[in-house]
Amino acid sequence: MKILEVMSKEAILDDLKSQNKKGILEELVVPLASSTGLNSEDLVRVLMERERLGSTGIGGGIGIPHGKIKDLESLVLGFGLSRNGINFESIDGEPTHIFFVLITPEDSTGLHLKLLARISRILKNDHFKERLLNAADRDELFEIIKQEDEEF
């Protein structure tokens, strides 16, 4: 599964402003709520519940908040860039800049895990991460993700 099969350009946020975990999640879900018709507060609640189990800040400046919700027809993916970085309680204690947020239907474990694995794999590429961090805007971020998506 390709990333851009489930993520639209509108779900890419190029300048997250919040300085805390809940605020970042609130920003990240806005385009997802809009595209799914789900309530953004419900999406944030699901993501925060998952965060209570353990931070999805995987280190290296990356966060992959994710959760499952009952009333969703198919999985949705969003991307956000925090240019200043925030404390997302990452395992390495470093600020988090790059966020992929994944919301999946309650019963879609296989797809959920495949997409998480794909995102984790491409984010091991330091050149890709550097390009994301230096992107000027949403269009450039989309093109960078598209190029990486095609190569992988």
- Residue-level pLDDT at 151: 79
Residue 120, both tokens: 């984790």
Task: Quote the CA–CA distance of 106 and 115 in Å, as a whole number.
Answer: 15
- Residue-level pLDDT at 73: 87
- Residue-level pLDDT at 23: 98
SS (H, E, C) 85-100: EECCCCCCCCCEEEEE
- Residue-level pLDDT at 110: 84
Q: Which positions are catalytic?
A: 66
Tell me which of 3.30.70.260, 2.30.30.100, 3.40.190.10, 3.40.930.10 is the CATH number of domain 12-144.
Answer: 3.40.930.10
- In terms of Cβ atoms closer than 10 Å to its own Cβ (0-12, 13-18, 19+), residue 28 is buried
pLDDT in tens, the chain (152 residues): 889 999 999 999 999 999 999 999 999 999 999 999 999 999 999 999 999 999 999 999 999 999 999 888 889 999 999 999 999 999 999 999 999 999 999 888 788 888 988 999 999 999 999 999 999 999 999 999 999 988 76
- Residue-level pLDDT at 107: 84
